[in-house]
């Protein structure tokens, strides 16, 4: 018979080698995660998460992946390839990194074509095809449902509007028609709200807005006010948004954008009296599940939030900056000085897919990850992702835990959903990429945020994270 001390030693051993956190998780450093390869397979059925659901949270919206089975756009949305997603993600990142604080007056324009043709700063925006997460809200009275992308990297909310005097791209929802809404009004050119726009113009006395995104997509139209309905109980009168009369680009089938940046025109700033500039979301861990976006302090969080300072930088006032200080792989901290991370700073962005790191940090991460994954057959690179594996033929695989250390002592252990980008079971890639230079701005992208509760509290200047959000 084995002695109790044998059992105790065995218990310690199994704790040390246990990949799953059973009882005392949090204190122990997990070094690897066992991944059921089921996770790698596409699922055609939507399984809605009930965490943070609409019934319990009034100002809560359901967040879905635009191309997954939970998307209201499914069926109409032509799937774009993974390669295309990653190429566009790079265009998006390039334009975020070029973005600087410029306010430009577009002057007098006899018509929208004139405004569109004039110099809307090309460095102002970013590509949207990759901004994967969508919500459905409603504009006007009576209210008309519109499915739009939510984006923490931009400020102006807009939807395509009738009569599309310039042009409109194809969308799934009927176009918003301001003449059918009893609460719609144009914004006057002399209004202080018009001055808050980064790119603006005037058509007579009417304020025009314009946004050009990094891939050349544009939206131009009237800067308007109307009622925005977030949920049956949450109605925002006089919400300011762009009524897009000329919209060109690859926006997919969505009706527009919900801008959640830090600038004055954003929904977050506009609703300060009601929601106190606090919002939270959980991006669904897989394309076939659902998450939430909620406004105000009643956000759901099943586990304790860890808070990191929310920083701001004058060079890009719309962005939410944070500090990345270190990374560990399999419990081992990478030999990268914090100075490498601080050189270009970092932001958190819901519209960037893949997290971007300083090249020095990425090289160390890649080398440690490859070492831990050396038992698996490597697979060809996928666009910007250069560390891929063929995991077909396995029921279970073990991947090292990648943890991000943020300012304020936050340690974010990424699960499989936050570590891997799955093109197919024979091409599963490390979902990180390098910037061109250590001085380029780093970005905490949406793959790494999947499944987490992410809370933005602007007055307290903190961003909170917790696990198991959706």
Angle at 171 between CA 146 and CA 45, to 5 degrees: 75
Retrieve residue 127's tokens. Answer: 């590509």
CB of 245 to ligand NAG, least distance (A): 9
468: left (phi over 0), alpha (psi -120 to 50) or beta: left
Is 29 tagged catalytic? no
Q: Which stretch binds ligand NAG (CB under 6 A): 27-35, 146-154, 200-208, 305-313?
A: 200-208
Q: Which stretch binds ligand NAG (CB under 6 A): 90-98, 130-138, 199-207, 230-238?
A: 199-207
Figure out which of the listed residues 203, 271, 308, 350 binds ligand NAG, where binding follows CB under 6 A: 203
- Residue 161 or 423 with smaller CB distance to ligand NAG: 161
Q: CA–CA distance from 191 to each of 106, 200, 384 (Å)?
A: 15, 12, 45
Query: What is the pattern of x (binds ligand NAG, CB under 6 A) and - over residues 205-244?
Result: -x---------------x----------------------
**457: helix, coil or strand?**
strand
In the block, which residue shows the tokens 């003449």? 179
Q: Which stretch binds ligand NAG (CB under 6 A): 182-190, 194-202, 326-334, 340-348?
A: 182-190
Is 151 tagged catalytic? yes
In the block, which residue shows the tokens 């992702």? 385
CB of 274 to ligand NAG, least distance (A): 25
Q: Which stretch binds ligand NAG (CB under 6 A): 97-105, 132-140, 177-185, 430-438?
A: 177-185
Angle at 101 between CA 256 and CA 193, to 5 degrees: 55
CA-to-CA distance for 158 and 34, rounded, in angstroms?
A: 43
Sort 308 into a burial class: Cβ within 10 Å, 0-12 / 13-18 / 19+: buried
CB of 212 to ligand NAG, least distance (A): 21
The answer to whether 366 touches 385, Cβ cutoff 8 Å, is: no
- Residue 186 or 301 with smaller CB distance to ligand NAG: 186
Q: Which stretch binds ligand NAG (CB under 6 A): 30-38, 198-206, 324-332, 414-422?
A: 198-206
Retrieve residue 465's tokens. Answer: 């994270």
Retrieve residue 203's tokens. Answer: 């058509």
Q: Would you say how long the chain is, in residues?
A: 470
Query: What is the pattern of x (binds ligand NAG, CB under 6 A) and - over residues 360-399?
Result: ----------------------------------------
- Residue 185 or 367 with smaller CB distance to ligand NAG: 185
Considering the candidates 89, 155, 349, 457, report the single residue annotated as catalytic.
349
- Residue 141 or 392 with smaller CB distance to ligand NAG: 141
Figure out which of the listed residues 132, 152, 154, 186 binds ligand NAG, where binding follows CB under 6 A: 186
Considering the candidates 151, 173, 215, 440, report the single residue annotated as catalytic.
151
> Closest residue to ligand NAG, Cβ-based?
186
CB of 154 to ligand NAG, least distance (A): 23
- Residue 132 or 186 with smaller CB distance to ligand NAG: 186
- Torsion angles phi and psi, residue 233, rounded to 5: -100, -10
Other Cβ atoms less than 10 A from the Cβ of 436: the count is 12
CB of 182 to ligand NAG, least distance (A): 10
Hey, which residues between 97 and 116 contact ligand NAG (CB under 6 A)? none
Q: Which stretch binds ligand NAG (CB under 6 A): 11-19, 181-189, 193-201, 326-334?
A: 181-189
CB of 178 to ligand NAG, least distance (A): 6
The answer to whether 223 touches 207, Cβ cutoff 8 Å, is: yes
CB of 113 to ligand NAG, least distance (A): 13
Task: From 234, 156, 162, select the one nearest 198 (Cα to Cα).
Answer: 156
Retrieve residue 114's tokens. Answer: 């004139």
Sort 55 into a burial class: Cβ within 10 Å, 0-12 / 13-18 / 19+: exposed
CA-to-CA distance for 255 and 249, rounded, in angstroms?
A: 12
- Residue 178 or 252 with smaller CB distance to ligand NAG: 178
CA-to-CA distance for 330 and 433, rounded, in angstroms?
A: 19
Figure out which of the listed residues 39, 184, 213, 456 binds ligand NAG, where binding follows CB under 6 A: 184
CB of 394 to ligand NAG, least distance (A): 60
Retrieve residue 10's tokens. Answer: 């065995």
CA-to-CA distance for 79 and 67, rounded, in angstroms?
A: 7
Retrieve residue 281's tokens. Answer: 């979301």
Site residues for ligand NAG per CB under 6 A = 178, 184-186, 203-204, 206, 222
Q: Which residues are catalytic?
A: 151, 349
């Amino acid at each position: 018979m084995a002695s109790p001390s044998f059992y105790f030693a065995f218990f310690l051993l199994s704790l040390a080698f246990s990949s799953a956190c059973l009882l005392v998780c949090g204190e122990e450093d997990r070094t690897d995660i066992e991944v059921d390869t089921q996770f790698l397979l596409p699922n055609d059925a939507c399984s809605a998460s009930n965490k943070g659901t609409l019934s319990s949270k009034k100002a809560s919206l359901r967040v879905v992946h635009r191309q997954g089975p939970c998307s209201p756009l499914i069926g109409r949305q032509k799937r774009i390839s993974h390669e295309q997603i990653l190429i566009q993600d790079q265009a998006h990142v390039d334009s975020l990194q070029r973005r600087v604080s410029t306010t430009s007056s577009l002057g007098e324009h006899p018509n929208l074509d004139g405004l569109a043709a004039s110099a809307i700063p090309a460095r102002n925006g970013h590509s949207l095809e990759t901004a994967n997460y969508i919500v459905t809200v409603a504009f006007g009275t009576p209210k008309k449902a519109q499915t739009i992308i939510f984006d923490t990297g931009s400020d102006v909310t807009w939807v395509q509007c009738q009569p599309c005097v310039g042009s409109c791209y194809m969308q799934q929802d009927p176009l918003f028609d301001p003449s059918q809404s009893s609460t719609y009004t144009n914004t006057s050119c002399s209004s202080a709200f018009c001055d808050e726009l980064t790119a603006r113009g005037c058509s007579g006395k009417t304020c025009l807005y314009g946004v050009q995104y990094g891939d050349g997509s544009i939206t131009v139209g009237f800067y308007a006010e109307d009622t925005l309905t977030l949920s049956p109980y949450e109605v925002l009168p006089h919400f300011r948004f762009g009524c897009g009369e000329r919209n060109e680009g690859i926006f997919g089938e969505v009706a527009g954008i919900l801008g959640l940046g830090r600038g004055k025109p954003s929904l977050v700033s506009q609703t300060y009296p009601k929601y106190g500039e606090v919002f939270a979301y959980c991006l669904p861990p897989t394309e076939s599940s659902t998450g939430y976006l909620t406004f105000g302090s009643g956000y759901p969080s099943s586990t304790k939030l860890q808070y990191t300072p929310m920083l701001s930088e004058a060079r890009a006032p719309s962005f939410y900056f944070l500090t990345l200080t270190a990374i560990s792989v399999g419990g081992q901290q990478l030999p990268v000085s914090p100075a490498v991370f601080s050189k270009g700073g970092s932001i958190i962005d819901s519209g960037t897919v893949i997290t971007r790191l300083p090249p020095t940090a990425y090289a160390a991460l890649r080398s440690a990850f490859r070492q831990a994954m050396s038992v698996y057959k490597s697979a060809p690179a996928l666009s910007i992702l250069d560390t891929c594996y063929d995991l077909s033929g396995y029921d279970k695989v073990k991947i090292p835990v990648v943890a991000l250390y943020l300012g304020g002592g936050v340690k974010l252990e990424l699960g499989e959903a936050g570590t891997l980008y799955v093109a197919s079971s024979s091409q599963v890639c490390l979902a990180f990429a390098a910037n061109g230079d250590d001085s380029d701005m780093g970005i905490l992208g949406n793959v790494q945020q999947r499944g987490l509760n992410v809370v933005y509290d602007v007055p307290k200047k903190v961003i909170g994270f917790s696990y198991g959000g959706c």
